Structure 1
Amino acid sequence: MRIALLTYSTRPRGGVVHTLALAEALAARGHDVDVWSLARGEDAGFFRPVDPAVRVCLVPLPDVPDEGVGPRILRSIAALGAAFAVEAPRRGYDVVHAQDCISANAVPDCVRTIHHLDVFTTPELAACHERAIVRPRAHVCVSAAVADEVRAGWGIETTVIPNGIDGARFAAAGSDAAGRAAWAQRLGRYVLAVGGIEPRKGSEHLVGAMALVQRREPGLRLVVAGGETLFDYRDYRARVLDRAAELGVVPELLGPVPDEQLPGLVAQASAFAFPSVKEGFGMAAMEALAAGVPVVMRDLPVLREVFDGSVAFAHDEAELACGLLDAARAPDGRRVEAGRTLAARHTWQRAAAAHERFYATL
């Protein structure tokens, strides 16, 4: 098949990671795959090298000073849509598959993966979100819980295809003493969260939990990696950091970590915190399980669906703190092994085969 996968950014974010890995796995199965993306600002390529078997099509999106989120979203849709409309007829795609709201608006007659559902108050974003659900010709969800939300909210039936991860890479990092030692020397003992500081990631709750943790384990630090986003979370970030200062928590904010260094950072963590209030699957947590790191996460239906039996669940800050302390002091060996086994099942090869079967029905 000739397949176009579309994403909104070249920078490290869950949907972008998904798009590249799925494209490479489909290409390995013999398909002709193009990945389309906006290249914001000075970006000249994706955050990591892409298999040469995949054709990369980047659409420049220059920065506009002081541009609001709504206008930037509309400009992104227009730029990606215009470029795709010119090139797509020449390529003769059998499948056009959008991975997010922006790309689904840019190519409305598409297949759409709904990774998770959001609630927006900005009018342009709310309208973008709605169109990206109702206009596509077919839908994929990465978990049954998200599929249930789509069915309940819009009456749309979807196909569930769970995410994959590059489990072997994170498993190998657990045995890479040199790679882990560099992070240990820099950070000491730490609880890791990946995804930056933003409302959906439950960052404020994590800070509260870490204040309780550090009363009993003062040497256990909070490290936050990632945070690449199109949205403006400055007010929320300021509120979280103000609360951290009040509680005496000093988080180490790494920002986006180079892709080749991420597995070592994850593998060295004493515990992995995943207090998200909204998720579609939880790839970062699955990567931590592959590395043999104990994970403590918020008790959400979608996370129960994906992770039950392999992680510790928490309902509030106190439970999150207890879970993180237990994980850092004495990890549950059976749970860690269950996590490794679970992560090993979620391969991109398996996900690509499921997509191939789905595409054949269209």
Structure 2
Amino acid sequence: MFKFFKKKSSDIKDKELIDCNNLEKIQDDSKSHHGTIKNNNLNYTDNIEYVSSLESEYSNIDNSWFGFLRKSLSNTSKKLSKIFYNFKSNEDLFENLEDILITSDVGYKTTEKILSKLKDKVKKEKTSDPIHIKNLLRAILIDQLKPLESSVNINKKPFIILTSGSNGVGKTTSIAKLAYHFKKSGLSVLLVAADTFRAAACEQLKNWGIRNDIPVFHTDSPDPSSVVFDSIHYGKSKNIDIIIIDTAGRLTSNQNLMAQLGKIKKVISKIDNDAPHESIFVVDGNMGQSVLLQLESFNSIVNVSGLIITKLDGTAKGGILVAISDMFENHSNIIPVYWVGLGEGISDLYEFKAVEFVDALLN
């Protein structure tokens, strides 16, 4: 092993390292809301001041990440707002709510569980007040999503992060954002271009490195496991704090690439029994229920420890996070969502917070 590394290392020169430096408001005004609700005799509420105060409160934070999230989830939010302000009976509300949740990527099974809880609470409290029912749903969703909150604990050096994901999910861009995030915290970072399957991926990572003054490790070897092996030893020699490994995007049906990913993980573990210290799976927030099958497959290969949800700035419906939270029975071995991506900028990566997410979805 030592001779092999020594031979490989002799081919690795420093020159091969790139030293790089809302929800939109409902168009109706308060009077329109009041008229709509008042026409609904079963569900009438005079609490329009409360609705207006919430809208005013949220309009003041449109420049925050929460503001961007609101805009991203506005399609789903508008549908939800509409049914809460215009329903004939509780049964009518539940039926419409079921349709919206299912078509928003929550999925049938999870939707039924959420609605069952909501119906029980509504029945127990004997309420037909739309605002109160909405608040009950808010509490259920927050309780459902809260276990997804978590953060990465950097407790070793070098701290090795292995990333994986399907084709086109924004994995390499997310890695660059992640590196920038850690660098801002004062930690040294080494990016590893182990996507030898696609030449453009290495160039993309090198470009991100140059733009943000972060070194990128790459070699001419076509074997990603060899690249990873040498990069970790290099990172140790340079006293690097965090090593982030980019791997090839792959479909779960490609058995050769999936086996290759498993080999990379084994190589890392041979160097450090506890590594990779984080195995992060990157998920496209627009891909719907297929994400669940992907996550299950990748988890069986690399023991996924956390998620990055990308492209929530596009046409994301948002419900896939609720579905993910329901994948693991009793939340005993739940895979958390560390970050969500809300744009293409280097700083557009935000820690997932259940309360903010639910409020963006409902308000």
TM superposition score normalised by structure 1: 0.32
Instruction: Select the structure that is richer in strand.
Output: 1
Instruction: Select the structure that is richer in helix.
Output: 2
TM superposition score normalised by structure 2: 0.32
Q: Higher relative contact order at CA 8 Å, sep ≥6: structure 1 or structure 2?
A: 2
